[in-house]
């Protein structure tokens, strides 16, 4: 009788959990998994996207994209964004997280100021920085001219465009990862630092021997988010380049948009989206496997 009652309670608990989880799974499956499946379906079609007429062409689009140098150039720009995210955003975010996690005065003020870039929409951020970069009346251009620095003020043209936009992305997203690192630092027991200080450890030794090892899971999560986010990034490049990124600022997502909604090659654009999915999935799997192996060895 007791076993029957316990089993009944378990089923009721499971049913309650499913009641809340199934709607979310339904929407996830409808808008994500079904969307991915339809993307791969359209990638095998010659379709303009504005008519119901579709022609099955197999893997022809995949071959065409693999031979498309513009696609490989856009992938190169995405990889540059990945490198910048890993080696500038992550250290910068960790540094700010350590600062607001310390016992210095005005911590709440610094936390608010550092997080402000994340409160702005991407469009507002893009417009603000376009005005800042403007070669005629922008603040940066005026400063350069006032200091008589011999350099071009065309920051969003030619080879200067990519690093200029990357700077804005770092400014916008470092606060986001700062909050993630702050959450990780909060979970580090204070008793470990106290014991280390009693043993004579300095701040650097506490950081390298206590803080870093204990926030590795947080760093891994941040790295995966940065990796995937950088490979599928779109909006700020689109806004700051006026909806028409050139070769030096073209990303896979902007190239996909151009092919699908400007040139009306929806089948080709779906193939680019399929490549993006496969590349993101492969990079994330390899990264997680490599970092988990290192964690096991440690």
Q: Does pLDDT of 6 surpass 70?
A: no
Q: Does pLDDT of 297 surpass 60?
A: no
3-state class (DSSP) for residue 221? helix
Number of H helices, E strands in the chain: 16, 2
Q: Does pLDDT of 4 surpass 70?
A: no
Q: Indicate the number of domains in the chain.
A: 1
CATH number reported for the structural domain that contains residue 138 in this entry: 1.10.3720.10
pLDDT in tens, 195-219: 988 888 888 998 999 999 999 999 9
Query: What residues make up the domain containing 162?
Result: 58-297
Residue 116 lies in a domain: yes
Residue 293 lies in a domain: yes
**Per-residue pLDDT at 74:** 94
- H or E element, residue 278: helix 266-297
**Per-residue pLDDT at 298:** 53
Least confident span in 67-71, 113-117, 182-186, 240-244: 240-244
**Per-residue pLDDT at 295:** 55
Least confident span in 123-132, 152-161, 195-204, 250-259: 152-161
pLDDT in tens, 175-190: 999 999 999 999 888 8
Give me the chain's average pLDDT, please: 87
Q: Whose CA is closest to 236, among 249, 223, 222?
A: 249
Burial classification of residue 139, based on how many CB atoms lie within 10 Å of its CB (0-12 exposed, 13-18 middle, 19 or more buried)? exposed
The Cα 112–Cα 293 span in angstroms is 37
Complete DSSP assignment for 152-194 = ---TTSGGGHHHHHHHHHHHHHHHHHHHHHHHHHHTS-HHHHH
- H or E element, residue 55: strand 55-56
| Contacting residues for 159 by C-beta, under 8 A, at least 6 apart | 248
Residue 211 lies in a domain: yes
Residue 30 lies in a domain: no
Residue 277 lies in a domain: yes
Residue 50 lies in a domain: no
Q: Does pLDDT of 9 surpass 70?
A: no
**Per-residue pLDDT at 157:** 84
Least confident span in 91-95, 229-233, 245-249: 245-249
Residue 121 lies in a domain: yes
**Per-residue pLDDT at 296:** 55
Residue 285 lies in a domain: yes
């Amino acid at each position: 009788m007791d076993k029957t009652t316990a089993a009944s309670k378990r089923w009721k608990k499971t049913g309650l959990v499913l009641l809340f989880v199934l709607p979310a799974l339904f929407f996830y499956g409808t808008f994500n998994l079904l969307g991915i499946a339809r993307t791969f379906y359209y990638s095998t079609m010659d379709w303009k996207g504005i008519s119901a007429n579709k022609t099955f062409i197999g893997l022809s689009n995949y071959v065409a994209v693999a031979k498309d140098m513009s696609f490989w150039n856009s992938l190169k720009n995405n990889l540059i964004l990945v490198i910048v995210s890993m080696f500038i955003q992550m250290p910068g975010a960790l540094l700010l997280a350590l600062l607001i996690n310390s016992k210095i005065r005005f911590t709440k003020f610094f936390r608010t100021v550092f997080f402000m870039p994340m409160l702005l929409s991407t469009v507002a951020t893009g417009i603000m920085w376009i005005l800042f970069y403007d070669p005629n009346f922008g603040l940066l251009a005026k400063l350069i001219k006032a200091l008589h620095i011999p350099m071009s003020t065309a920051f969003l043209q030619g080879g200067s465009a990519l690093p200029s936009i990357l700077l804005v992305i770092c400014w916008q997203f470092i606060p986001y990862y700062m909050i993630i690192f702050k959450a990780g630092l909060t979970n580090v027991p204070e008793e470990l630092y106290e014991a280390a200080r009693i043993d004579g450890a300095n701040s650097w030794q506490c950081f390298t021997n206590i803080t870093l090892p204990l926030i590795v899971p947080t760093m891994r999560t941040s790295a995966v988010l940065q990796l995937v986010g950088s490979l599928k990034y779109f909006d700020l490049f689109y806004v700051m380049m006026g909806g028409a990124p050139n070769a030096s600022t073209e990303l896979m997502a902007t190239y996909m948009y151009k092919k699908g909604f400007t040139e009306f090659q929806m089948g080709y654009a779906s193939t680019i989206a399929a490549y993006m999915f496969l590349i993101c999935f492969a990079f994330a799997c390899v990264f997680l496997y490599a970092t988990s192996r290192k964690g096991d060895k440690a």
